[in-house]
Each structure stands twice: as C-alpha cells, then as structure tokens.
Amino acid sequence: MAMLGRWTKQPGETLAYPVDYVDWLAERPGNAIASYTVSADAGIGVASHVKIGAIITVLLSGGTSGVSYKVTITVTTDLTQEVKESEFVVKVKEI
C-alpha cells in the first residue's frame, strides 16, 4: 500500500481530499481506472467521493478531536486488472 500523506481537519469541517493517479497510470499505457472503492476507519464520515479522469476526490466529515483516521482507496485498472491500494491519514483536531 502507498501512504499518501497526513492531513488535519476540525470535527465540524467537511473537506475534500483529492488523490491523483495520473503518474501511476502513465506507467501503465492504455490503462484507466475501471473501478474504485473508498473506505475509512469508523468514526469519520465519507460524505461522498467522485472520480474525474485519474483523480479520485474523497469528501470527509466529522470525526472526534484527537483521533487519527485511515482512509483507503482501492483502484482497479480496466486493461490489465491491476489493483492498487492507497492510504492517507486524517487527524481530527479542534483548534
């Protein structure tokens, strides 16, 4: 799995987190994202998600201050049926 990074949000915020697969797909000529899933640790809300081209954007809401949540995106390519898991962590912190 590829760790994409760590971000911080407040409990009352609903924020978008875009994940760019352009470079990864460029190494796989002829492939595109055929399907994907998004999952997150219990306690943070996945309000929505969308794929535009090779970018998947996850909209997260809620969470408990002081808790870190892992978000996983699993992508499957259309031509070669490769499966890639990418993760990022969001720490919720009331400021």
Summarize pLDDT for 4-53 with one digit per residue, the tens.
789 999 999 999 999 999 999 999 999 999 999 999 999 999 999 999 99
- The contacts of residue 48 (CB under 8 Å, 6+ apart) are 59
Q: Band of the pLDDT at 2, cuts 50, 70, 90?
A: low
CATH superfamily assigned to domain 2-92? Immunoglobulins (2.60.40.10)
At position 60, the amino acid (one-letter code) is L
pLDDT the model gives residue 13: 98
The domains of the chain are located at: 2-92
CA dihedral over 8, 11, 12, 17, signed as positive or negative: positive
